[in-house]
A and B are shown apart, each in its own frame.
Chain A
Amino acid sequence: MDDKRENPVNPYLRLDRMPSIWCPGCGIGTSVNCFARAITQSKIDVKKLAIVSGIGCTGRVSGYLNFDSFHTTHGRPIAFATGLKLANPELHVVVYSGEGDLIAIGGNHFIHAARRNIDILVVCVNNFVYGMTGGQVSPTSPEPATFTTAPYGQFEEPFNLAYLADSCGAVYIARWTTFHVRQLAKSMRDAFGKKGFRFIEIIAPCPTLYQRRNRLGDGLDAMRYYKEKSVVKNGAETKSLRIDFQSEITVGTFVDRERPTFLEAMNNRFQKALGDKYTPYPLGPSHQPKSQPQAQASA
């Protein structure tokens, strides 16, 4: 059969760069597929979409997506994205990176961008491990999983990323696993329709380093785990979202609220202080009042 139909996500991928570097069973590609699906289902102007990544396995996402793509330095994509967004608010800026990049080396930028309510979507693929460098312990690694730099088992407290983002003021917080592809794509679509600092955590398998070393099977075993041990609790207290070794994983949309973005707050302040001498800075498309059809699309 000669089926010439193209996968609808193809225009959003740099097909000339395939195959990707990701291992069989890795969850990053699944998340990228969800992201591209979300784009096809959204009204976002892809010409104005910029993807910013840091370093690591997930850091390579920017290079496979066919938008304006910036593959920056380790830990700093949020700081780069801050400059990109503030200098041209017309852009939709998405930071797509791993938990080591965003929360360990880049943790300072994460908390401050959330506090400032910079108008960016941060997608964090959390696989509990440093993959690119060969299986080291990460800030979300649970006890007693072992890693090349924790050969006797991790013993530090793991970060609860949703709780962190919540306490820093993120306006939208969701978590899904790579088993929840439809829910994840919908969450991404919902997040596109909001303004301010939005955070989506994706629990994803690393069969090559995390699962193999901890005798957790392959990518399919991870899917079984996610299927059996995930519980959807929309609106759950973020404090309760801790993930332990092979524990239950609470998924869902936990936070969906509004507060002034950095640029809205800046305009308000400068207008109060400077009056007519101040020309309001343009705020960009995400600040437009939502029209009825868009509201339905995200319902």
Chain B
Amino acid sequence: MHADPSGVLTGKHYLDGNHAACEGALAVGCRFAAGYPITPSTEIVERIAARFPLMGGTFIQMEDEIAASIAIQGAAWAGKKAMTVTSGPGFSLMMEHIGLAAITETPCVFFNVQRGGPSTGLPTLPGQADMMQARWGSHGDYEIIALSPQSPQECFNLAIDAFNLAEQWRVPVLVMMDECVGHMTERVIIPKAETIEVTERRWTKKKPSDYKPFEPGPDLVPDMAKAGDGYHLFVTGLTHDERGYPVMNWQAQEKLVHRLVNKIRLATDKIVRFEEEDIEGADVVVVSYGITARVARRGAELARQKGVKVGRLRLVVVWPFPEKRILELASKVQAFVVPEMNYGQMVLEVERAAKGKTNVVCVPHGGGEVHDPQVIADAIIRAAKRLS
């Protein structure tokens, strides 16, 4: 299925990442958004508030992020593609509803334009310190998908992918931007509607009498029905059976959690996405994501000028994590260098995936500005020297 042209602003634009993310969401057919103002993410909903009335969408500024993060789930069960937008403190408030979306398998998209933390931290300055929160922030066992754009163009592209992945796998999808990418202005090309692929909701073809709302298909994902179509849905945040009815015992818990986790874990190879550069013959591989991947490219250039054979792996899909590829590379390279705008989050995943087969070097940064590329270059050079 292709995009509805009413939401597609085809052409060459000069946009910041926040506005580009908004355009991606409109292009893929998002027609419900709920938000609460928070720097540095607010431009996304400001643009939505201006654009939605012209294409039949509904935006509501809710009373807080808790409300915004569940209003979108009501809208999803009414049949709309729905999203919310936030940053650090608001993301913390939304955690309970990421869990609700996970257990009720509600397709919805959360944009988090990360800033420095903890708490109020650095409202106007960048960070990447919500990466583990994105994965683990709500209580209980569940899986999500998280993406990390490095440019305004990619904010547009990944916004589209986020909605498509949410529909395909029926999970909350998190677009983990940062203040730099959100506020950086670059050229963004928005293609024609007919070239934008849109994943439709997995509407059930069954009659209400034959339909069980949480009966999985072969890929462990159930087909969906919406309110108002006579299916008499029962959707609950309690542990439930295939009818959606609450069941309070360990067998029902095992069956449900096993499926919620495995529908993503078993599909990891289909979902992971990363870009590699100069990996062949590299002694050191820099693993990075988001704005830090662009800074790391300069760091790698500086190290290469000093004679280090350095390659780069950029995570586009951050969760699920490409552990298979990291393990493959671990037996070939002498070190992974992992710069990120936090005190060591995704580096823990690199370590876990490398299984001790190579060195893993953390290049932390508390946030507030991007790394100095020279710091990354020095870390690469040190990692290469230590092993030569």
Q: Which residues of A contact B (CB under 8 A)?
A: 14, 17, 47-48, 50, 52, 62-63, 66-73, 76, 79-88, 90-91, 108-109, 112, 262, 270, 274, 277-279, 281
Contact = CB atoms under 8 A, between A and B. Distances in A.
B71 interface: yes
Given A50-B228, A71-B235, A88-B227, A82 B60 contact: yes
A88 B70 contact: no
Given A82-B34, A87-B76, A270-B53, 17 more contacts: A70-B227, A70-B235, A72-B70, A72-B73, A79-B62, A79-B70, A79-B74, A80-B71, A80-B73, A82-B60, A83-B34, A83-B73, A86-B60, A86-B71, A87-B32, A91-B78, A108-B67
A88 B79 contact: yes
A92 to B, nearest CB: 9
Most buried by A among B66, B75, B228, B238: B228
Interface string B69-103: 01111111111101000000000000011001000
Contact of A87 (B64, B74, B100): B74
Contacts of B80: 87-88
B237 interface: yes
A278 B6 CA distance: 13
Given A70-B235, A76-B70, A83 B228 contact: no
B2 to A, nearest CB: 22
10 contacts: A63-B245, A68-B77, A69-B235, A80-B74, A83-B34, A87-B80, A108-B63, A109-B63, A109-B67, A262-B60
B273 to A, nearest CB: 30
B72 to A, nearest CB: 6
Contacts of B97: 73, 76
Contacts of B246: 63, 71
A85 to B, nearest CB: 7
Most buried by B among A88, A109, A278, A279: A88
A81 B60 CA distance: 13
Contacts of B234: 14, 62-63, 69, 71
A66 B71 CA distance: 22
Interface string B216-242: 000000000011111111111110000
B346 to A, nearest CB: 29
B74 A69 contact: no
B1 interface: no
Contacts of B100: 72-73
A90 B67 CA distance: 22
B66 A79 contact: yes
A195 to B, nearest CB: 17
Contact of A88 (B53, B78, B236, B237): B78
B356 interface: no
B139 to A, nearest CB: 12
B54 interface: yes
A84 B245 contact: no
Contacts of A281: 56, 58
Given A278-B54, A279-B56, A281-B58, A83 B230 contact: no
Contacts of A79: 62-63, 66-68, 70-71, 74
A214 B364 CA distance: 59
In the A-B complex, the 7 residue pairs with the smallest Cβ-Cβ separation, listed nearest first, are A83-B74, A83-B71, A84-B74, A87-B78, A87-B75, A79-B67, A88-B78
A141 to B, nearest CB: 24
A257 B234 CA distance: 33
Per DSSP, chain B at the interface is: mixed
A279 B226 CA distance: 24
Most buried by B among A66, A80, A90: A80
Nearest to B237: A73
Contacts of B56: 279, 281
A17 B350 CA distance: 47
Given A87-B74, A108-B67, A278-B54, A82 B228 contact: no
A4 to B, nearest CB: 22
A274 B54 contact: yes
B172 to A, nearest CB: 14
Contacts of B77: 68, 70, 84
A274 B53 contact: yes
Contact of B232 (A66, A81, A90, A270): A66
B167 to A, nearest CB: 15
Contacts of A108: 63-64, 67
Interface in B250-298: none
A10 to B, nearest CB: 14
Interface string B7-45: 000000000000000000000000110100000000000
Given A47-B230, A91-B228, A86 B70 contact: no
B329 to A, nearest CB: 41
Contact of B227 (A66, A71, A91, A278): A91
A76 B54 CA distance: 30
Given A82-B71, A83-B70, A279-B56, A63 B236 contact: yes
Contacts of B82: 83, 87
Contacts of A76: 66-67, 70, 97
A82 B67 contact: yes
Interface in B105-149: none
A91 B226 CA distance: 11
Contacts of A109: 63, 67
A241 to B, nearest CB: 25
Nearest to B55: A279
A128 B54 CA distance: 47
